[in-house]
Amino acid sequence: MSLNDFEIIKRLGEGAYSSVYHVRRIADHEYYALKKVRMMKLSDKEKENALNEVRILASIRHPNIVAYKEAFIDDASQSLCIVMEYADSGDLFQQICDHQKNSTLFKEEDIWRMFIQMVRGLRCLHEILIFHRDLKSANIFLNKDGTAKLGDMNVSKVAKKGMLYTQTGTPYYASPEVWRDQPYDKKSDIWSLGCVLYESITLKPPFRADDMQGLYKKVLRGVYPKIPSVYSTDLGNLVKSLIQVNPSMRPSCEGILEMQIVRKRIEKIFPNDEFYESQSSLLNTIRVPKNLLYLTDRLPKPSYESPTQKK
């Protein structure tokens, strides 16, 4: 495969060493998101993170996690290209910005719908001891049909012994234990999930400050402004249960889905709900060869649906 097999429609976003494009695959005329990572500019650790995202995405098949399609090296630019499912409604951060611009709020049912799906996607990761480590509104991808999916697994990590030590993530959503440079586990993702939930309700992160020291103090105190009174007490109580300074006080994904206030929303919003068993088998670590041209053979096989599967 090469970039010549895709028609680039537009650029969706850009980072320091990567760009994401909306593309159409010539072979099946379907639309996808293609992330192009300029490998030659990356440190060894950053190369590992890029391949780690491929490994994790290709290991999981779940309706609330962005689906992997394929990965290949584009020889001309020495870039790693990752082809993924395209979200036709953008990401949650974009929608929050739209609401801010229009001085509107999300409907409560839409918040519950997104949240329940976020928890289900996160539960799938936690079941195979993967911590996302960078849950934020920009990494929640949305579709016009109402589905929400977790994406951007660049710094996600497999915790072989249940705890992690390396600090990463985005400051507004980072848990107190990450700020304190302490070991952390999957409960750190739960804190970030609470921050994303709060932001979807108020259109602002729960903890904000003019500088890092001020943000650090606010996160460690764990005190945030109340949510607007137009929303239910249940929603406020849910936020409170997730944004707990003590990680042992935070529920697991399973615990969240078993809460009475969440169960009644599942029954209302997803009336014909079927429990989805994730198809997860963690692939082996992908090693970076000295010559990037040899990397393509080490990448997971393509995973496009055939026309019969789509029916």
What are the residue ranges of helices labelled H in the chain? 44-59, 92-102, 108-127, 176-179, 187-202, 212-221, 233-242, 253-258, 260-269, 307-310
The pair of structure tokens assigned to 308 is 């019969």
CA separation for the pair 167, 164 (Å, rounded): 8
One-letter amino acid for residue 198 of the chain? Y
Number of H helices, E strands in the chain: 10, 11
Per the CB < 8 A criterion, the answer to whether 146 and 113 are in contact is yes
CA separation for the pair 39, 169 (Å, rounded): 21
User: Which H/E stretch holds residue 280?
Assistant: strand 279-280
CA separation for the pair 52, 44 (Å, rounded): 12
One-letter amino acid for residue 234 of the chain? D
Q: Which of 74, 91, 134, 152 is catalytic?
A: 134
| DSSP conformation class of 162 | S
Query: Could you confirm whether 134 is annotated as catalytic?
Result: yes
Cβ-based burial of 230 (10 A; exposed 0-12, middle 13-18, buried ≥19): exposed
CA separation for the pair 119, 125 (Å, rounded): 10
- Name the residue among 304, 274, 299, 276 with its Cα closest to residue 286: 299
Place of tokens 């994406």: 151
- 35 assigned to a ligand binding site: yes
Contacts of residue 263, defined as CB under 8 A and 6 or more positions apart, other chains included, come to 257
Residues making up the binding site:
35
Q: So which residues are the catalytic ones?
A: 134
Residues making up the binding site for ATP:
35
